[in-house]
């Protein structure tokens, strides 16, 4: 019985460590499918990717103007609480574009994305468990801040 309990504890801890290592490492060579597969692996959600939406219709013209030139590919999937969570494969330059738009008064505050390496998600809730970061920006500089769990 004691051995059984020990095995249960060891198994739980090992699995938790394995799953809890939410490194932002989707296979971006597979584009949006790579992000979805990574997210599905970590959360058991995001099983189906939708690609039939217009990004400007999703994000509105103001944010689409800033973001769209730096999005190589995008789609959405369902991951609670998000019925449509955006999965974005990024090109370099989004940070500079946001700062420029900030300086022109076209946007306010920080980009509303959770950033990984070469990709981003459009949500905020739950992102701290995925090893993602957010950008805090002024017109002259942005800082990458790990999203923390409180």
Partner 1 sequence: MRKRLAALVLVAATTGAVLVHTGGTAVAHGSMVWPGSRTYLCYEDGRAGGGGGDLNPTNPACVAAVAQGGKQPLWDWFGNLISNAAGRHREIVPDGSLCGPTTKFAAYNLARADWPATQVQANSTVTFRYNAWAPHPGTWEQYVTKDGYDPTKPLKWSDLESVPFDKVTNPPLANGEYAWQARLPNKTGRHIIYSLWQRSDSPEAFYSCSDVVFGGGTGTPDTRPPSTPGTPVASAVTSSSVRLEWPASTDDQGVTSYRVYRGDQVVATSATNSVTVSGLSPNTDYSFTVVATDAAGNASTASPGVAVRTTDGGGAGGSCTVTYARPSTWSGGFTANVTVSNSGTEAIRAWQLVWDFPAGQQLTQAWSSTITVADGKATAKGVSYNADLAPGGTASFGFNATTTSAAPANPTSFSLNGSACAVR
Closest approach, Cβ 44 to partner 1, in A, equals: 8
Tokens standing for 133?
């970061």
Token match 């923390």: residue? 148
Beta carbon of residue 12, minimum distance to partner 1 (angstroms, whole number): 4
- CB nearer partner 1, residue 16 or residue 47: 16
What span, in angstroms and rounded, lies between the C-alpha atoms of 80 and 110?
Answer: 23
As beta bridge partners, residue 133 has 115, 146
Least distance from partner 1 to the Cβ atom of residue 117, Å = 21
Q: Which is nearer to partner 1, 26 or 31 (CB)?
A: 31
Residue 93 beta carbon to partner 1: minimum distance, rounded to whole angstroms: 18
Interacting residues toward partner 1 by CB under 8 A = 4, 7-16, 19-20, 43-44, 51-64, 73, 81-84, 86, 107-110, 112, 122-126, 128-129, 134, 136, 149-150
Q: In what order do the strands lie in the sheet with 133-137?
A: 71-79, 82-90, 119-121, 114-115, 133-137, 142-146
Given a contact cutoff of 8 angstroms between Cβ atoms, the answer to whether 88 and 120 are in contact is yes
- Closer residue to partner 1 (CB): 16 or 27: 16
Alpha-carbon distance of 89 to 46, in angstroms, equals 16
Q: Return the number of the residue (19 or 47) whose C-beta is nearest partner 1.
A: 19
CB of 102 vs partner 1, minimal distance in Å:
9
Q: Which is nearer to partner 1, 95 or 128 (CB)?
A: 128
Are 126 and 94 in contact by the 8 Å Cβ rule? The answer is: no
Helix (H) or strand (E) holding 67: helix 55-67
């Amino acid at each position: 019985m004691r051995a059984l309990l020990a095995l249960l504890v060891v198994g739980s801890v090992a699995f938790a460590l394995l799953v809890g290592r939410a490194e932002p490492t989707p296979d971006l060579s597979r584009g949006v499918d790579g992000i979805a597969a990574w997210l599905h692996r970590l959360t058991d959600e995001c099983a189906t990717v939708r690609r039939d939406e217009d990004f400007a219709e999703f994000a509105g013209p103001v944010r689409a103007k800033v973001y769209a030139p730096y999005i190589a590919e995008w789609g959405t999937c369902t991951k609670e609480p998000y019925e449509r969570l955006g999965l974005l494969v990024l090109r370099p330059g989004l940070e500079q574009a946001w700062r420029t738009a900030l300086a022109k008064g076209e946007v306010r505050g920080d980009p509303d994305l959770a950033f990984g390496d070469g990709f981003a998600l459009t949500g905020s809730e739950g992102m701290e468990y995925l090893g993602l970061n957010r950008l805090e920006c002024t017109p002259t500089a942005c800082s990458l801040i790990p999203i923390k769990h409180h």
